[in-house]
Amino acid sequence: MGYLWSVHDRAQTANQFFYLKSWTKIHSCGTDVRTSKNPRLSSDLVSNVVSKRVRDRPLTRLTDVAYTFKADYGLDISYHVSWLGVEKAREAMHAFVACINGFKYCHPLLFLDGTFLKGRYKGQLLAATVKDGLFPVAFAIADSESESNWSSFLYELSKVIADDRHMTFVSDRNLGLLEAMPKAFPSIYHGWYLKHLKNNFRNKLKGMENGFKEHLIRKLGDCAYEPTLTGFHALLEKLKSDGKQRAYNFLLGLEPEHWANAYFRGQRYGEITSNAAESFNNWIKEARNLSITKLVDTVRNQIMCQMLERKDIANKWNCIICPTFETNLQDSFNSSRS
């Protein structure tokens, strides 16, 4: 038999009066407490009861939780249920959970990049970022951008990315990342930053007259943006003809399915640059000078402030989608009426 509501009250030791703590119109916790040792006392109910305590005292002991339920409710709670309830309460207040959950509502497009740290111990900060309002999903500290470090990062990332979404990753062709990607995400589409390709091409053209060098680099961009196979190959042959052996050597083995729109089978939503990754690196620019523990805490605090600010803004919206896209949608509707 289903429940339509639930009431959470508590007896005060001093006068034995019951005080109403919360009232839920729709009962959802699935718990029916009848005896002091009822096994149906769920960890969700424990999490709900102790959430404020865990928020105020992060190092709350499980024995304290068990004592609370015994003293206030006359219930005996198992160690496992107590531990699980506290873990759920900690997870609910964890700043990075908002990143993981929020990504479900962003485009399934992640920008991967590593940026060097400037503190005493150096190292690299590996990050996965969404361009939707500069939304950080995950980051990690490593000693280098090696294959093993990228593998560890991607493995942990795979735990929080839904399997039912057709994901696309975009990166700067880092060698360690290229080796790690097929192992962690064998079926995911992987695009490369056009800016990084242009910089590599520019290095191959050293000593060439600047005007002609930039002409060839623009031709490479034209190849990347071209949407049709016929157009792509025509532009590619023109690039090889103009750039001769240097262009031919650079393009040799450069798989177009990773950088050319005509061959790319994933969905990049028009994104072919590294703007999101560069914006994230600039966002944490000052934190990169700190020690590792201070850096992580600073980034965590920045994320919390960002989430709070966006929450306050969103609460003032009067439409289903954000005002910017509401305006774009209305403008598109009006321009297409004829």
pLDDT score of 36 more than 80: no
Contacts of residue 20, Cβ cutoff 8 Å, sequence gap at least 6: 7, 8, 9
% of the chain residues with pLDDT over 70: 87
Residue 265 CA to residue 335 CA, distance in Å, equals 31
Phi, psi angle pair for 241, to nearest 5°: -65, -40
For the segment 24-31, the average pLDDT, to the nearest whole number, is 54
Residue type, 246: R
The mean pLDDT value for 190-196 works out to 90
Chain segment 161-178, per-residue pLDDT in tens: 877 788 899 998 899 999
Residue 48 token pair: 């709900």
Specify the pTM.
Answer: 0.70
Q: What DSSP line would sit under 69-115, residue for residue?
A: HHHHH-----HHHHHHHHHHHHHHH-HHHHHHHHGGGS-SEEEEEEE
Closest CA to 78 of 42, 33, 52: 42
**Strand-pair partners of 286:** none
What integer pLDDT is reported at residue 63 of this predicted model?
A: 84
Write down the residue that tokens 């005493």 correspond to: 120
Q: Which residue has the higher pLDDT, 154 or 6?
A: 154
Q: If you search the block for the tokens 């997870």, which residue do you land on?
A: 91
Question: At residue 310, does pLDDT exceed 60?
Answer: yes
Instruction: Work out the mean pLDDT of the chain and round it to a whole number.
Output: 83
pLDDT of residue 1: 41
- Identify the pLDDT of residue 6: 64
